[in-house]
Amino acid sequence: MATVSLDNIKKRFGPTEVIQGVSLDVADGEFIVIVGPSGCGKSTLLRMVAGLETITEGELRIGDRRANDLEPMDRDIAMVFQNYALYPHMSVAQNMGYGLKIAGLPKAEIATKVADAAKLLQLTELLDRKPRQLSGGQRQRVAMGRAIVRAPSVFLFDEPLSNLDAKLRVQMRLEIRELQAKLGITSLYVTHDQVEAMTMADRMIVMNAGRAEQIGTPLDVYERPATLFAAQFIGSPSMNVLEVEGRDGALWLGDMRLPNPTGHIGPVMLGLRPEHLTPDPEGAIVMQVLLAEPLGANTLLHGKLATGQGFTASLPGVHALSHGGETLRLSISPANMHLFDTATGARLG
């Protein structure tokens, strides 16, 4: 078990800087999720922690050791890959015991440790099978098993669930989280799925274009997104963003008058989460509803505002739409209004 600390980590491939200085302190036993769209550098960041990519600049510490120049095997980490990376010619037991065998442990001890891990992951029946005889979920478990057996200080997960079907993904998500909590091993988990990030993370890093947009607890990121990008990336359906203008103590969107929680003057980006909108006959937001998606527990209403911008509202329960094109008046509490700088996207207030 160990802490991990990244101090202004940078990665350059030639002239392009793919990681532009990420700093993060991971506490012992913490579960950190690195989330972002594809190409944001999240996997590169993880691979630098693993030692599979060199660190161009900055310092990485695992435990109390500087790890920049350590070989992957000397970093006391274990990694679960997106395609599981199981050794196809070895049985499940051999796959799980490979690291221990390399470390030179006696056979009996390897067998015990593998058996223990297999029991924990319900793999005992499968120990003699080859990877190709396993289902996707089972392979995923074997990859986890291989990581657990070595009792590393840090777990690294590189989109481990993205090859599984939706139902299995939800199940494995819980299993991984439970297992990590039970073993108390510091973990870094990369995903592009914001639901995984929200549900699994102790803290998450929202990454975009090689930068950490925000580091915080899931609720923190949801309730107080630090940037426009983080605001739009986290939350489903994603946040409505409107360009409004602050004047006369209010925010104006065309001739719609909204409260101005920060008193900002001039043009500003306003973010409104669809689920924070409430129907209100007096509401300032007038939306023309074009399409309804009933999800059972709530209904997504897609449409546009008088200014022509697309707009989505999520209302609890079932909202039957008699026909397209009806207008709906909505309001929102000032506490749920997020303002961002037009130029930098940084949060205001």
Instruction: Give the interface segment with other proteins, choosing from 85-93, 208-216, 260-268, 300-308 (CB under 8 A).
Output: 85-93
Instruction: Give the interface segment with other proteins, choosing from 99-107, 218-226, 279-287, 303-311 (CB under 8 A).
Output: 99-107
Which of the residues 205 through 264 are near other proteins (CB under 8 A)? none
CB neighbour list of residue 295: distance below 8 Å, 6 or more residues apart = none
Instruction: Give the interface segment with other proteins, choosing from 21-29, 82-90, 197-205, 268-276 (CB under 8 A).
Output: 82-90
Instruction: Give the interface segment with other proteins, choosing from 22-30, 66-74, 169-177, 256-264 (CB under 8 A).
Output: 66-74
- Phi, psi torsion values for 43, nearest 5 degrees: -70, -40
Instruction: Give the interface segment with other proteins, choosing from 77-85, 112-120, 230-238, 293-301 (CB under 8 A).
Output: 77-85
128 part of the interface to other proteins, by CB under 8 A = no
Rounded CA-CA distance 319/332 in Å is: 18
The least CB distance from residue 73 to other proteins, in Å, is: 4
| List 27, 103, 181, 346, residue binding other proteins (CB under 8 A) | 103
Of 79 and 339, the one with the shorter C-beta distance to other proteins is: 79
Based on the number of CB atoms within 10 Å of its own CB, is 343 exposed (0-12), middle (13-18) or buried (19 or more)? exposed
70 part of the interface to other proteins, by CB under 8 A = no
Report long-range pairs for 255-259 (Cβ below 8 Å, ≥24 apart).
255/306, 256/284, 256/285, 256/286, 256/305, 256/306, 256/307, 257/284, 258/284, 258/285, 258/332, 258/337, 259/334, 259/337
| List 14, 15, 88, 308, residue binding other proteins (CB under 8 A) | 88
Of residues 199, 161, 196, 211, the one with CA closest to residue 45? 211
Of 34 and 198, the one with the shorter C-beta distance to other proteins is: 34
The least CB distance from residue 184 to other proteins, in Å, is: 21
Rounded CA-CA distance 334/331 in Å is: 9
| List 70, 85, 183, 209, residue binding other proteins (CB under 8 A) | 85
Secondary structure string (H, E, C) spanning 168-204: HHHHHHHHHHHHHHHHCCEEEEEECCHHHHHHHCCEE
Instruction: Write the single-letter amino acid at 258.
Output: L
Q: In terms of DSSP H, where are the helices of 251-294? A: none
Report long-range pairs for 239-242 (Cβ below 8 Å, ≥24 apart).
239/271, 239/272, 239/273, 239/274, 239/338, 240/271, 240/272, 240/273, 240/274, 240/311, 240/312, 241/269, 241/270, 241/271, 241/340, 242/269, 242/270, 242/272, 242/305, 242/309
In DSSP terms, which residues pair with 57 in a beta bridge? 10
82 part of the interface to other proteins, by CB under 8 A = yes
Instruction: Give the interface segment with other proteins, choosing from 96-104, 121-129, 214-222, 309-317 (CB under 8 A).
Output: 96-104
| List 29, 58, 72, 279, residue binding other proteins (CB under 8 A) | 72
The least CB distance from residue 102 to other proteins, in Å, is: 4
The least CB distance from residue 153 to other proteins, in Å, is: 13
304 part of the interface to other proteins, by CB under 8 A = no
If binding means CB under 8 A, how many residues of this protein chain bind other proteins? 24
- Structure tokens of 302? 């897609």
Rounded CA-CA distance 214/208 in Å is: 10
79 part of the interface to other proteins, by CB under 8 A = yes
Of 86 and 201, the one with the shorter C-beta distance to other proteins is: 86
13 part of the interface to other proteins, by CB under 8 A = no
83 part of the interface to other proteins, by CB under 8 A = yes
The least CB distance from residue 54 to other proteins, in Å, is: 13
Rounded CA-CA distance 126/92 in Å is: 7
Residues 175 and 143 sit within 8 Å (Cβ to Cβ): no
63 part of the interface to other proteins, by CB under 8 A = no
99 part of the interface to other proteins, by CB under 8 A = yes
The contact set with other proteins (CB under 8 A) reads: 50-52, 71-73, 77-79, 81-83, 85-89, 98-99, 102-103, 130, 146, 150
